Amino acid sequence: MEATLGELTQHFLNTVSAHPTAAYGLVFLISFLESLAFFGIVMPGAFLMFGLGVVIANGALGFHPAALAATFGALCGDGLSYWLGRRFKDRLTALWPFSRHPGMLADGRSFFHRHGGKSILLGRFIGPIRPVAPLVAGMLGLAPVRFAAVDLPAALGWSYAYLLPGVVFGTSLTVSKAVSTRITVLALLLVLILWSCAWLLRRLAFILEGRERKGERLLFSCLIGVAVAATVSLAAVIHSIRLHGLPSAFDRGLHHLLQALATPWGDRLFGAVSRLGDDFSYTGLVLAVLLVLLGKRCYRSAGFWLAHGVIAAGSVRVLKWIVHSPRPLDLYQGPANYGFPSGHALMSAALLGFFGVLWARGKEDAWRWLFLGGAVLIALLMGLSRLYLGVHWPSDVLGGLAIGWLLTSLGGLAFLLTAPETIPRRRLAMAMVAGWLLTAMVHGIFAPSPDPAGPARHQQTQTMTADAWSDGGWQTLPGRRTDLGGERRQPILFQWAGSLTELERRFAARGWTPAPGPDARSLMMLLAPSGQAGPLPVLPRLHDGRPELLRMQRDQGEIRWVLRVWPTQVRLEGFAEPLTVGTVEAQSERRVGPWLTLPAPAPTDHRALPMLIDGFAGWAWQQRVVRAEALDQNAADSAQWNGELILAAEFPPPPKPR
* The predicted structure's pLDDT at residue 206: 45
- Give the Cα separation of 36 and 79 in Å (integer): 9
CB 80 within 8 A of CB 92: no
SS3 content of the chain, % helix, strand, coil (to 5): 60, 10, 30
- Give the Cα separation of 397 and 407 in Å (integer): 15
* The predicted structure's pLDDT at residue 635: 47
| Whole-Å CA distances, 182 to 174, 208, 229, 490 | 11, 37, 21, 18
Query: Which residues are bridge partners to 646 per DSSP?
Result: 494, 624
Helices (H), 89-130: 103-115, 118-123
Three-class DSSP category at 457 = helix
Total residue length of the chain: 658
* The predicted structure's pLDDT at residue 211: 39
Our measurement of the distance from residue 432's CA atom to the centroid of its chain's CA atoms, rounded to an integer in Å, reads: 32
- Give the Cα separation of 515 and 635 in Å (integer): 26
What residue ranges of the chain have pLDDT lower than 70? Answer: 1-18, 38-47, 57-60, 92-105, 107-108, 126-131, 168-217, 333-335, 364-366, 444-460, 484-486, 518-535, 590-606, 619-620, 629-640, 652-658
pTM: 0.60
The two counts, helices (H) then strands (E), for the chain are: 24, 12
Q: Three-state SS string across 484-524, please?
A: CCCCEEEECCEEEECCHHHHHHHHHHCCCEECCCCCHHHHH
> Of the candidates 42, 9, 12, 38, which has an alpha carbon nearest to the alpha carbon of residue 26?
12
- Give the Cα separation of 511 and 614 in Å (integer): 11
- Give the Cα separation of 588 and 254 in Å (integer): 29
**Contact partners, residue 149, CB within 8 Å, separation at least 6:** none
* The predicted structure's pLDDT at residue 180: 39
* The predicted structure's pLDDT at residue 535: 66
Is the Cα torsion angle 580, 581, 584, 587 positive or negative in sign?
negative
Three-class DSSP category at 463 = strand
Q: Three-state SS string across 550-606, please?
A: EEEEEEECCEEEEEEEEECCEEECCCCCCCEEEEEEEEEEEEECCCEEEEEECCCHH
Question: Phi, psi at residue 496, to the nearest 5°?
Answer: -125, 130
- Give the Cα separation of 635 and 428 in Å (integer): 55
Strands (E) in 315-471, as ranges, are: 462-464
- Give the Cα separation of 567 and 494 in Å (integer): 12
- CA–CA–CA angle 171, 487, 322 (5° rounding): 120
Concatenate the DSSP letters of all residues of 23-72 into one string. Answer: HHHHHHHHHHHHHSHHHHTT--HHHHHHHHHHHHHTTSS-HHHHHHHHHH
- Give the Cα separation of 474 and 468 in Å (integer): 8
